Amino acid sequence: MTDTSNDIATQSVLYEKKDGKAYITFNRPDKRNALTYAAFDRVMDLLADAERDDDIRVVVFRGDGGHFCAGHDLAEVGSEYGFDPSGKGRRPSQRARLNFDRRHLQQFRDLLYCSKPTLALVRGYCVGAGLHVVEACDLAIASEAARMGHPEQKAGLAGAAYMTAWNIMAAGPKKARELLLIANVLAPQEAVQMGLVNKVVPDDQLEAAGEEWADRITGLPRDAIAIGKAAAHMALDSLGMTSQFTHGYVMHALSTNIRYEEDEYNFMKQRREKGVRAATHGRESRFGKDAGEPEAGSAA
């Protein structure tokens, strides 16, 4: 059987370069731009291309079809560790979990430490891994239609997120714990208060606001941009931010191997028995509401 995952990834992540700007566009509107792992690999390849291109001075992330990104495709989650879909095989080993999470978390580190300024333009759903992309960007502008959060934490993570240290630095310890433990999906003004985005604009002005900021960055000297990014990286290191890329993958691998008691909601089991949509709705109903999270969902 021919492996078409790379072809699908190419179609689901578009790339354009013009006037000193590189645009990485999530293009899977039927799944609210949920990312497969192959698509995320493509994102990182495109980011590396932008870094190599001396004419590119800013990288802009955006989503097509009314949403930024609904996170990882929940239909894939688990396969990265080697789960048996039937649920009858052996559980994935700790080394399989650790090896995959270490590699994947390195991708978010590479985005955070990109040598070019990065800007996210957010509308619609931006949850799970989609929000991790925004957290790793230098700047973010949200439209009034944006809805942001980490609802995947309610699937059994409860705070073992990839960017926990960043969340604490941006929002403060109490608000970061609220973001990851209560795991509500936030309206854009709440996202500003959490330090997730810089500002909110009317939905029909999002692209123009993004272009204005991108143009201002492209007006800066190349060396000044590079030195400014290096200074930011040094500051993040001095605050201990590098350590999150170690504890992040260790804690995520550990949290995906928890034991569920009989009275606890096991998302992976429910997904296997009832499908992604029913499992996602069941997760939300478990916590007293069904917020209508996208079925493509997110799993940090």
Residue with tokens 């929000």: 131
Read off the pLDDT of residues 170-222 as tens digits, 9 standing for 90 and up. 999 999 999 999 999 999 999 999 999 999 999 999 999 999 999 999 999 99
Measured CA to CA, the distance from residue 72 to residue 65 in angstroms comes to 17
Half-sphere exposure of 291 (CA within 13 A, CB side): 22
Residue 38: CB atoms within 10 Å = 19
Question: Which residues neighbour 194 within 8 Å (Cβ) at sequence distance 6 or greater?
Answer: 170, 171, 175, 179, 186
Instruction: State the pTM of this model.
Output: 0.87
Residue 199: phi, psi to the nearest 5?
-160, 170
Residue 85 pLDDT: 59
Measured CA to CA, the distance from residue 248 to residue 240 in angstroms comes to 13
212 or 287, higher pLDDT: 212
76: nearest Cα among 100, 95, 109, 58: 100
Structure tokens at 213: 């900021």
Q: Which amino acid is at 274?
A: K
Half-sphere exposure of 180 (CA within 13 A, CB side): 20
Read off the pLDDT of residues 84-97 as tens digits, 9 standing for 90 and up. 656 667 778 889 88
Measured CA to CA, the distance from residue 177 to residue 158 in angstroms comes to 9
Structure tokens at 214: 């991108």
Measured CA to CA, the distance from residue 81 to residue 168 in angstroms comes to 28
Task: Give Dmax (Cα) for the chain.
Answer: 60
- Residue spans of the domains in the chain: they are 5-286
Q: How far is CA 178 from CA 30, 146, 185, 188, in A?
A: 30, 19, 11, 16
Residue 113 pLDDT: 95
Residue 161 pLDDT: 85
Residue 290 clears pLDDT 70, i.e. is over it: no
pLDDT-derived band at 298, boundaries 50, 70, 90: very low
pLDDT-derived band at 293, boundaries 50, 70, 90: low
Residue 152 clears pLDDT 80, i.e. is over it: yes
Q: Which amino acid is at 120?
A: A
105: nearest Cα among 265, 236, 253: 253
Most confident of 81-90, 240-249, 291-300: 240-249
Fold of the domain spanning 5-286: 2-enoyl-CoA Hydratase; Chain A, domain 1 (3.90.226)
Q: Where are the alpha helices (DSSP H) in the chain?
A: 5-12, 37-52, 94-112, 129-136, 164-171, 173-177, 188-193, 206-218, 222-238, 244-255, 267-274, 276-286
